[in-house]
Amino acid sequence: MTYCVAIALDDGLVFASDSRTNAGVDQVSTYSKMHTFEVEGQRVFVVLSAGNLATTQAVVHRLQRDMEDGVEESLASVERMAEAADYLGRVNREETEKHSEALSKSGMKAEATLIIGGQIGEDPPAIYMVYPQGNYITTSQQTRFLQIGESKYGKPILDRIIEAGTALGDAARCALVSIDSTIRSNLTVGPPIEVMVYARDTLTFDHYLCLEADDEYLRSLTQAWDANIKKAFTDLPRFDWESAHGRKRRGTRVSRGSARTAPGKTAPGKTKKPRR
């Protein structure tokens, strides 16, 4: 599996990805899922990839070759980010179709889902998610991030923190926290974690990080997050049935609510609403 996230902010773009690929649980490898393309000072792109590894490698190879060969439509020629997404969609669909019939006979899928983001000249920076069928969506004012792969574990923290005005550093940190939460809860997502920060209108990549599991900053971040979350949890308001000390010891009952009437209850008469 995979987990990648891209965030579009007033200040620019943030991309983050894990590096674990697996075919089943016993064939686990490390591959970068972050691919960058650049015409210096003129245009920058980041492509994040999830899905069939053969397909995503073929797609990235095509993007690279089309650019180098100077073919009519490539990341060097498109004039808007939406056109880049459309082009990537076509390449993705074509590469997927090559092997999908043979793969489906073996019960496998050739499908890949990608995110492309960046900026072309004076066109505003943008991010797009490109589906296996070649269609694509972008962000809205309310929805500032796109995720591919194992996206659910890491979504709540993005939902809480990310908005259009979030600073690039905060968004990059939030992406790291989101990926770290996913890694803790799901074995199929793993380090190194890559992060790319693009500051609007600079037309060059601002900051790139490739953080191994033992990276000093990543370790300090995840340790701080774990401690801060535990404190955030400890500071929550208590139920009124908890003792003043906030801990019920085993065997001691502070208060006792009666059970609610249950469908299968055999003893009648206990119908009063239980206390909290």
Residue ranges in 113-132 that form contacts with its own copies under rule CB under 8 A = none
Is residue 15 a contact point for its own copies (CB under 8 A)?
no
Q: Are 97 and 56 in contact (CB under 8 A)?
A: no
Contacts of 258 (CB under 8 A, 6+ apart): 270, 272, 274, 275
Residue 104's identity, in one-letter code, is S
Tokens of 273: 């609403």
Judging by DSSP bridges, how do beta strands 126-130 and 34-39 pair with one another? unpaired
The interface region with its own copies, picked from 67-75, 86-94, 105-113, 136-144 by CB under 8 A, is: 67-75
The interface region with its own copies, picked from 22-30, 103-111, 128-136, 176-184 by CB under 8 A, is: 176-184
Query: Which residues is 198 bridged to in the sheet?
Result: 13
Instruction: Provide φ and ψ at 109, rounded to 5°.
Output: -115, 140
Is residue 272 a contact point for its own copies (CB under 8 A)?
no
Q: How many residues bind its own copies (CB under 8 A)?
A: 93
CB of 31 to its own copies, least distance (A): 13
From the number of C-beta atoms within 10 Å of its C-beta (0-12, 13-18, 19+), residue 27 rates as: exposed
Q: Are 195 and 172 in contact (CB under 8 A)?
A: yes
The interface region with its own copies, picked from 33-41, 79-87, 121-129, 130-138 by CB under 8 A, is: 33-41
Residues 246-265 that bind its own copies (CB under 8 A): 246-248, 250-251, 253, 255-260, 262-265
CB of 86 to its own copies, least distance (A): 17
Tell me how crowded residue 200 is: count the other CB atoms within 10 A of its CB.
16
Using CB under 8 A, which of 80, 98, 184, 272 touches its own copies?
184
Using CB under 8 A, which of 48, 50, 59, 60 touches its own copies?
60
Identify which of residues 131 and 205 has a Cβ nearer to its own copies in the complex: 205
Using CB under 8 A, which of 68, 79, 163, 212 touches its own copies?
68
CA 87 to CA 140: how far, in whole Å?
21
Identify which of residues 101 and 250 has a Cβ nearer to its own copies in the complex: 250
CA 38 to CA 45: how far, in whole Å?
6
Using CB under 8 A, which of 172, 175, 179, 189 touches its own copies?
172
Tell me how crowded residue 257 is: count the other CB atoms within 10 A of its CB.
11
Is residue 97 a contact point for its own copies (CB under 8 A)?
no
| Four-residue CA torsion sign, 112, 62, 86, 114 | positive
The interface region with its own copies, picked from 48-56, 60-68, 109-117, 130-138 by CB under 8 A, is: 60-68
Tokens of 113: 């889902």
x/- binding map, residues 214-243, to its own copies, per CB under 8 A?
---x--xx--xxx-xxxxxx-xxxxxxxx-
CB of 78 to its own copies, least distance (A): 13
Query: Which residues is 149 bridged to in the sheet?
Result: 3
